[in-house]
Amino acid sequence: LFGWCNVAMSNFLAPDGKRYFSYSQIAATVSGSVPEVQAFAPDVFVAIGGGGFIPARMLRTEVQKPILAISLELYDDATKTANSSVICKQWFDEAPGTFGSLVRGRRVLIIDEVDDTRATLQFAVEELKRVNAPAAVGVYVVHNKAKPKTGSLPDDVTYIAGENVEDVWNCYPWDAAAYGQGIAEHEALARSCAEGGADGARKRPREAEPEGSDSAAPAGAGLSL
C-alpha cells in the first residue's frame, strides 16, 4: 500500500543526516509525472502553500492548467512544532470570471511537494469536497515518504507520486535560506546526495532500508489509493 517495493532509496545523506534535492531533480521528477497527470485530465490545479507552489508552476509548463493557491498549516514555523490539527490559513472563492469558478463540478488536482503523514492532504481533499464540490479530485506530490500515514484519502481520489522516497528529512531548494544556506551550497549538497558522497555526504547503512525495498526499482511509480 505504501509502495515499499518501488522506493527510490538514497544511499547517501548529507553530513547533517538530511537528503537534499536540487531544482533540476525536482523539475525532472515533475516532468516524469506528466503522463499520469494528463491521464487524470484536470481542469485546474490547487497548490498547497508553500511547498506546492513551485511544483505546480513546473507542472503548468507542460500541462497548461490554471493554478489556485491555498495555505494550510500543520507545522508552526515559529515554534518548529506540529499543530494538533491542520489549520486553514487561506482558501479561494468562486467569484465568476476567476479561476475559482473552474472548480465546482470540474476535475481538480491538488499539488504539494511531499506526502509525509498525509494529514494535510486529507484536510485539503475533505475541505475541497465540502466547500467547492468538484466532480473529481486527484492528488499529486513530488515525493511520497514510504511510511505508515496518520491521514487517509478516499478511494475515489486519484493519487500520483512523482517518486517514492525513504523516510528521512527532505530539504528543498526553495527552503535553502531556512537552513542557513545559499542556493549554491544547497545545490552542492543535493549533488553530493545524488552522486554518492562527494563533499562529505555519508553512506546510509543498507540495513536501515525498509524490509523488502528495492533500490533498483524505477522511480516515479504512482500509487492508487
Annotated catalytic residues are 116
With b for 16 or more beta-carbon neighbours within 10 A and e for fewer, the 47-80 pattern comes to bbeebbbbbbebbbeebebebbbbebbbeeeeee
Nearest to 56 by CA among 142, 146, 176: 142
Nearest to 74 by CA among 40, 122, 146, 28: 122
Contact predicate 34/63, CB 8 Å: yes
DSSP H/E element including 119? helix 119-132
How far apart CA 85 and CA 153 sit, in angstroms, is 16
DSSP state of 66: -
φ, ψ for residue 86 (rounded to 5)? -70, 135
Cell of 206: 543498507
Per the rule left: phi > 0, alpha: psi between -120 and 50, beta: everything else, 102 is alpha
β-strand partners of 76:
81
